[in-house]
């Protein structure tokens, strides 16, 4: 049986105002996979995520989701098609309580996690549910909330932009467990990461970005033997 292409991106170009950020990005994500975008700062990883959601000023090329073209759609329709986005800055709303933040994204399809399942995955959030301002949570709790709220929506394709950035190792481990858990439930995940050691613990494949293009693809199993190459790409 051929693998089902959940997300297929070809010749994607994107601009912020006058500056041309993505120069023909090509990659794909199969259903049920966890795929990472690796690369240095400014390589275009976050812009790729935002371009998939339609959140850049201008984008051209092709972004097919489940075979349907989304390049001309507004962000709300892309979300309704079943793609959910967790931004790098987490996007927790300070004027909303923790519960309101959790319940904010509309349900786009059946099959999302129930609130009880979410609290089982993130016990801290249950304890903090009554907090009046979402931004009063710690950085780690905010990150969990940002992931939790998109698990509710029924979207099966998740875009997670640097979920481990700036977090303590114990929280990074919890987020790793969460990603493996949602993968086992059949979700598809596209992950942006700076930390490839973390990426290696959750992903099936890695794409490497440089200067607004995909320059390489590495299977997770080959990661060990590709270390030299990877160090060169990432400059670590």
Partner 1 sequence: MIMIFGIPGPLLFGQLLLGLINGAFYAMLSLGLAVIFGMLNIINFAHGALFMMGAFVAWILLDALGIGYFPSLILAPLIVGAFGVVLERTIISRLYKLDHLYGLLLTFGLSLVIEGLFRNAYGSSGLPYRIPDILQGATNLGFMYMPNYRGWVVLAALVVCFSTWAIIEKTSLGATLRAATENAPLVQAFGVNVPRVVTLTYGAGVALAAFAGVLAAPIYSVNPNMGSNFINTVFAVVVIGGMGSILGSIVTGFGLGVIEGLTKVFYPQASATVVFLVMIIVLLARPRGLFGKAA
Q: What minimum distance in Å lies between the beta carbon of 222 and partner 1?
A: 34
Q: What minimum distance in Å lies between the beta carbon of 150 and partner 1?
A: 8
Distance CA 136, CA 134 (A): 5
When the beta carbons of 54 and 140 are compared against partner 1, the nearer one is: 54
Positions touching partner 1 (CB under 8 A) are 53-55, 74-76, 78-80, 84-85, 87, 91, 93-96, 100, 103-106, 108, 150, 153
When the beta carbons of 108 and 167 are compared against partner 1, the nearer one is: 108
When the beta carbons of 61 and 154 are compared against partner 1, the nearer one is: 154
Q: What minimum distance in Å lies between the beta carbon of 189 and partner 1?
A: 17
When the beta carbons of 111 and 123 are compared against partner 1, the nearer one is: 111
When the beta carbons of 4 and 93 are compared against partner 1, the nearer one is: 93
CA 186 to chain centre: 15
Distance CA 75, CA 16 (A): 16
Q: What minimum distance in Å lies between the beta carbon of 73 and partner 1?
A: 11
Q: What minimum distance in Å lies between the beta carbon of 74 and partner 1?
A: 7
Q: What minimum distance in Å lies between the beta carbon of 70 and partner 1?
A: 12
Burial group, residue 126, by CB count within 10 angstroms (0-12, 13-18, 19+):
middle
When the beta carbons of 91 and 176 are compared against partner 1, the nearer one is: 91
Let me know: does 28 contact 37? Beta carbons within 8 Å.
no
Residue of 26, 36, 28 lying closest to 233 (CA atoms): 36
Instruction: Determine what percent of the chain falls in helix, strand and coil, rounding each to the nearest 5.
Output: 35, 30, 35
Q: Which residue bears the tokens 């995955």? A: 121
């Amino acid at each position: 049986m051929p693998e089902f292409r959940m997300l297929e991106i070809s010749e994607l170009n994107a601009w912020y105002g006058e500056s041309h950020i993505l120069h023909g990005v090509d990659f794909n994500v199969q259903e049920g996979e966890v795929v990472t975008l690796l690369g240095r700062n400014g390589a275009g990883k976050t812009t790729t995520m935002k371009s998939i959601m339609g959140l850049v000023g201008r984008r051209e090329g092709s972004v097919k989701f489940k075979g349907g073209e989304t390049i001309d759609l507004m962000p709300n329709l892309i979300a309704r098609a079943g793609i959910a986005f967790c931004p790098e800055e987490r996007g927790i709303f300070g004027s909303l309580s923790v519960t309101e933040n959790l319940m904010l994204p509309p349900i786009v399809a059946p099959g999302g996690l129930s609130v009880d399942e979410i609290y089982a995955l993130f016990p801290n959030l249950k304890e903090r549910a009554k907090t009046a301002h979402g931004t009063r949570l710690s950085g780690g709790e905010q990150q969990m909330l940002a992931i939790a709220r998109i698990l509710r929506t029924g979207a099966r394709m998740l875009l997670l932009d640097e979920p481990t950035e700036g977090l303590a190792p114990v929280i990074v481990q919890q987020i790793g467990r969460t990603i493996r858990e949602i993968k086992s439930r059949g979700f598809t995940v596209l992950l942006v990461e700076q930390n490839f050691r973390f990426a290696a613990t959750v992903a099936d494949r890695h794409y490497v970005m440089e200067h607004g293009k995909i320059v390489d693809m590495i299977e997770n199993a080959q990661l060990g033997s590709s270390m030299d190459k990877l160090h060169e790409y990432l400059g670590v």
